[in-house]
Amino acid sequence: MKILLYCIFQSQKQAPAMYTVLGVDGQPIGIVSHDRLSAAISPLTGSKLSMDVSQILAYRNVVDTFHHDPAINGVIPVRYGCLFDKEDEVVLLLEKHNGHYISLLDELQGCVEMGIRILISDCGFRISDSTENRNSKIENPQWKTPGHTYLGARKAYYAQEEKFNKQVEQVTERCCSAFNGLFKKYKTEFPSIANFQFSIRNPQSAIRNPFPSIYFLVQKGAVDPFRKAFRHIHSNGSARLLLSGPWPPYNFVQPEYNDRNKSMIGGIEF
């Protein structure tokens, strides 16, 4: 039997609440604690975690329940699939990273995540057949081409990528200006133009999010003003924007990726 970790939060001064929400596999939720930190967990009957949509939604429901609990006022949501062999390992995790998690929870306290997706296909970006053909030839190792033709195709590709990035940056700057004073920090998620083009040509592809996204860390009390500001920029701009949230702050607990932290999951290092 494995132990599945959902989220981490600051321990409550009073006795922890009894949660009726059920986790993955319909298992009851338990709480383990160390010092000032607690974690929501449940047993997993098998050795592997199902990727079934209903199980993922059950996982999200648990995180949402703790996130919205006014007595907790902030959680570190953990990426789906964080497993341990026993509860003692979860306690050891809380002990090892106590200072980091406390600092992160102080930053997240009373906050939610609001997301904006920039629908590039409606921002004047079109993929020409000539560009597609050039790129497909470049990607095909069996296709032989003179060096100057190859370099010409790459020049056209990078010019299109520069245009793509510039317009996304302009929309991002406009959003940040419109939301000035309504968020604590923000993060961006920009796909490469190659992924964007591949996804547009192949709608059933496995690329998770081919469109640029901006995530804002917002105080709960600022959600309505944030939505109002969004409606204004949405109705007065050329770019099509899609607003989502409020969510637990998933995108504000993950570390920046580098070689040192390849094994980090949702801010947790193994």
Q: Is the pLDDT of residue 9 over 70?
A: yes
What's the pTM value of the predicted model, to 2 decimals? 0.72
Residues 234 and 252 in one domain: yes
**Structure tokens, 192:** 């490469």
pLDDT in tens, 43-75: 987 767 878 899 999 999 999 999 998 888 889
Domain boundary among 59, 78, 108: 108
pLDDT in tens, 229-246: 999 888 876 678 899 999
CA 93 → CA 3, 66, 143, distances in Å?
A: 13, 19, 52
Q: Dihedrals φ, ψ of 206, to 5°?
A: -90, 5
Residues 229 and 99 in one domain: no
Count Cβ atoms below 10 Å from residue 7 Cβ, excluding itself: 25
- Find, among 157, 167, 6, 161, the residue nearest to 79 by Cα: 6
Residues 66 and 90 in one domain: yes
Specify if 143 maps to a domain: no
Average pLDDT over residues 67-93: 91
Q: Is the pLDDT of residue 204 over 80?
A: no
**Residue 88: CB partners within 8 Å, gap ≥ 6?**
none
Residues 189 and 244 in one domain: yes
pLDDT in tens, 128-167: 444 444 444 445 555 555 677 777 777 776 777 777 778 7
Q: Is the pLDDT of residue 171 over 60?
A: yes
pLDDT at 170: 83
Specify if 37 maps to a domain: yes
Specify if 252 maps to a domain: yes
Q: Is the pLDDT of residue 258 over 60?
A: no
Q: Is the pLDDT of residue 10 over 50?
A: yes
pLDDT at 158: 72
Confidence label for 121 from pLDDT (cuts 50, 70 and 90): low
Round to whole Å and give the CA distance between 97 and 37. Answer: 10
Tracing tokens 């906050």 back to the chain, one arrives at: 111
**Structure tokens, 236:** 């007065």
**Structure tokens, 165:** 């990035």
Residues 185 and 221 in one domain: yes
E strands present in 45-150 = 76-77, 83-84, 111-118
Residues 57 and 119 in one domain: no
Specify if 270 maps to a domain: no
Q: Is the pLDDT of residue 104 over 50?
A: yes
**Do 183 and 222 form a contact (C-beta atoms < 8 A)?**
yes
Round to whole Å and give the CA distance between 73 and 248. Answer: 11
Percent of the chain with pLDDT over 70: 73
Q: Dihedrals φ, ψ of 8, to 5°?
A: -125, 140
Confidence label for 212 from pLDDT (cuts 50, 70 and 90): confident
Q: Is the pLDDT of residue 87 over 90?
A: yes
Specify if 139 maps to a domain: no
Q: With H, G, I as helix, E, B as strand and everything else as coil, classify residue 39.
A: strand
**Position 165, amino acid:** N
Q: Is the pLDDT of residue 265 over 70?
A: no
E strands present in 172-223 = 185-189, 213-219
Residues 100 and 184 in one domain: no
Residues 224 and 115 in one domain: yes
Q: Is the pLDDT of residue 80 over 70?
A: yes
Residues 59 and 118 in one domain: no
Specify if 214 maps to a domain: yes
* 82-86, 165-169, 196-200, 262-266, range with the lowest pLDDT: 262-266
Specify if 134 maps to a domain: no
pLDDT in tens, 27-44: 999 999 999 999 999 998
pLDDT at 105: 95
The total of structural domains in the chain comes to: 2
Residues 116 and 184 in one domain: yes
**Structure tokens, 48:** 């592997």
* 68-82, 117-131, 212-226, range with the lowest pLDDT: 117-131
Residues 121 and 61 in one domain: no
The average confidence (pLDDT) of the chain is 78
What range defines the domain where residue 235 resides? 111-125+169-261
Specify if 46 maps to a domain: yes
Q: How many helices (H) and strands (E) does the chain have?
A: 7, 9
Round to whole Å and give the CA distance between 121 and 143. Answer: 30
CA 157 → CA 12, 119, 163, 197, 261, distances in Å?
A: 54, 20, 10, 11, 32
Residues 247 and 120 in one domain: yes
